[in-house]
Structure 1
Amino acid sequence: MHKIVFTGGGSAGHVTPNLALISRLQKLGWSVDYIGSNAGIEKEIIEHEGIPFHHISSGKLRRYFDLKNFKDPFKVMRGVVDACVLLRKLKPDVVFSKGGFVSVPVVVGAWMNRIPVLIHESDMTPGLANKLSVPFAKQVCVTFPETLQHVKGGKAVCTGLPIRDGLAQGSALRGLTLCDFHRQKPVLLIMGGSLGAQKINESVRASLDELLPFVQVAHICGKGNVDSAFAGKRGYKQFEYVQEELPDLLAAADFVVSRAGSTSIFEFLSLRKPMLLIPLSRQASRGDQILNAESFRARGYAAVLAEEELTPASLAAGIRDVQARAGEMREAMQAAAAVSGTDAVLELIRKSAGA
């Protein structure tokens, strides 16, 4: 039996592509373990799936000044020791990393144990964790062809993004029932990322009187962000966070408003869902979501609204624009090359493990 260890965390976008691969590998008889942080969202998601989860010490890798920058390198070094000892016990044939700060000690620990490492980068430009991990990796899988030029050493392979098989198997009827919606009006799904997005949430609720006459709104607003004042509003359904229900909500949705994390937008692309993307600003991120969103706008898959320009009025106008152009967006998506990279990544995993 072949054995693999996955790592990646800090956000759902660093975990869900791993789930797509894990599901397929388990069906092929592989043994799977996962290494993450004890406080990260990955622990909740992976344990919910019944996959053996191991936690290590981890410190955040920051590009900005923070007093924690003086303490966290010691956590990272402790994490390397933790990962090295753990991997020596688990003895995997290969390690697969999806990124996030917790992945760096695991990648280094695997390299120290001479275990082949594959990395996957979702965004157009590599994140800091993956940049630090590249020297220790055998190959780097990337989602965008443009990313190839950003990875040195000839290690990069454009595979696309692993997408969960079950995502396309949702039921529109179950989604409508879950929200208490009907078929006479289009459904708009709004997602602000796994932790929610306060500014998006506020703009959505402030624009409901303008939106609800022409759409029904399913709003995934993040843990602790449900507003009880809107609990009984007809045509508006709030969720803190969804897992099993997501395929049904996507099946019911006619179009989507979302951040521009690559995992989410490629999943929408695979389902042919017209999008209004509101990328994280450069003040709140390294600008990767802006590049992702602009790439999708250039290909005709999405409209883009900068967070600095987000108001209730601009949000409502953007949603009307997507609704008006939904047909041409779907046509552009239909003409896209193969979207899911699951098979391509699995082939590299098998080769690296000698399977």
Structure 2
Amino acid sequence: MVTKKILFTGGGSAGHVTVNLALIPRFLEEGWKVEYIGSTGGIERQLVSSLRDVRYYGIETGKLRRYLDWNNVKDPFRIAKGVWQAYRLIRKERPDVLFSKGGFVSVPVVLGAWMNRVPIVIHESDLTPGLANRISIPFAGAVCTTFPETGDHLGKGKVHHAGPIVREELRRGNAERGRTFCGFAGGKPVLLVMGGSLGARKINEAVRAALPLLTPAFQVVHLCGKGQRDDSVRSPHYRQYEYVQEELPDLLAMTDVVVSRAGSNSIFEFLALRKPMLLVPLTRQQSRGDQLVNAESFRRSGFCEVLFEEKMTAETLAAEAKRLYENRHAYKREMDRFDQGDALSSVFELVRSAAK
């Protein structure tokens, strides 16, 4: 029997890796060889390196910016080099299919796969596709979407609405282990703050300023992002970590309410775990506006409250977090109506079919 091989790509932020991390174990269990192409120093390398039996290749890449920057002059050459590196790697390794999660590193890989006539499946988590995926989609045979409305932006020909993919290990958390890890007592509610790997600074500043208002009501666990710890801030009811991996399911299990950016992968994971959310989406000045659209979709569905960054202060953040907790049961009732489905199996079967 011939062993199938799948190549994954996606990176630049944790959100462009998490779906891949959910799918990779399924392919390994089925006996596939799994390889990954990402950037040489991006967060994807850090996340994928923890997986056994997955070979990682780093390539040159540039960022696709919408603003003036001197790097815009250099990056087309980096992207061209990345396309050449990806083309040569794919020609040598000969995968049966490429699965791309997006992010700027994925564009050279998609082009390299297309030039080698490797079938391409793309995943788009946000309601509207990002720039990297918009560039890549014409070269793909299929596009999996999380939001059903995304098909309106892409046309129906190659779009497959799969729904949200949630990592199975997140459902296996233990609240007691989470409290032990943080040194928290039982009985007092836990507020989890996730700023994301990008755009965390504003939330971090507001949360730390709000601690005198938050800690009388909550125990606060703060995932602040790489290089964003502030060890001068101390409280028996506050714990900060740059990033957690193995402990994340346990931290989520003990969490009562969440303050987060509005990246689609994270908010759908909170939805699957029935965690009421206060979302602080990235502004249009910081992003293409996808988080604003994601947050509004969730607000209309009754899953969250939204606090715009322009209105976020220590006082408004603390007041909204407390109001969210007081009304948590109403949000959970709306979340219980959401049909999660089995998006992981749906996407797995689609990719397996493309490989044939």
Name the structure 2 match of 1:136: 139
User: Could you state the TM-score of these two structures normalised by the residue count of structure 2?
Assistant: 0.97
Distance 1:99 1:293, change over 3 A: same
Residue type matched to 2:72 in 1?
A: N
Residue type matched to 2:96 in 1?
A: D
Matches within 5 A, 1:51-130: 51-130=54-133
Q: Secondary structure at the match of 1:185?
A: coil
- The answer to whether the 8 Å contact 1:196/1:221 transfers is no
CA distance in 1, matches of 2:232, 2:58: 39
Deviation string 1:45-69 (CA, Å, 9 cap, x unpaired) is 1112232100111111112222222
Q: 1:339 Cα deviation (Å)? A: 5.2
CA distance in 2, matches of 1:319, 1:339: 29
Matches within 5 A, 1:204-215: 204-215=207-218
- The answer to whether the 8 Å contact 2:164/2:340 transfers is no
Name the structure 2 match of 1:237: 239
Name the structure 1 match of 2:38: 36
- The answer to whether the 8 Å contact 1:195/1:223 transfers is no
Q: 1:225 Cα deviation (Å)? A: 1.8
Q: Secondary structure at the match of 2:66?
A: coil
Matches within 5 A, 1:123-272: 123-152=126-155, 154-195=157-198, 197-231=200-234, 233-272=235-274
Residue type matched to 1:242 in 2?
A: V
User: Could you state the TM-score of these two structures normalised by the residue count of structure 1?
Assistant: 0.97
- The answer to whether the 8 Å contact 1:216/1:235 transfers is yes
Residue type matched to 2:243 in 1?
A: Y
Question: How many residue pairs were aligned?
Answer: 353
- The answer to whether the 8 Å contact 1:196/1:223 transfers is no
Q: Secondary structure at the match of 2:232?
A: helix
Residue type matched to 1:336 in 2?
A: F
- The answer to whether the 8 Å contact 1:170/1:247 transfers is yes
Residue type matched to 1:119 in 2?
A: I
CA-atom RMSD, angstroms? 1.1
- The answer to whether the 8 Å contact 1:8/1:97 transfers is yes
Deviation string 1:165-199 (CA, Å, 9 cap, x unpaired) is 10110110010111111121111100000246111
Name the structure 2 match of 1:335: 337
Query: Structure 1: where are the runs of 5+ without partners?
Result: none
Q: Secondary structure at the match of 1:229?
A: coil
Deviation string 1:2-50 (CA, Å, 9 cap, x unpaired) is 1100000000000011010001111111110000000211011111223
Name the structure 2 match of 1:314: 316
CA distance in 1, matches of 2:295, 2:317: 16
CA distance in 2, matches of 1:202, 1:81: 42
Residue type matched to 1:18 in 2?
A: N
Query: Structure 2: where are the runs of 5+ without partners?
Result: none
- The answer to whether the 8 Å contact 2:199/2:282 transfers is no
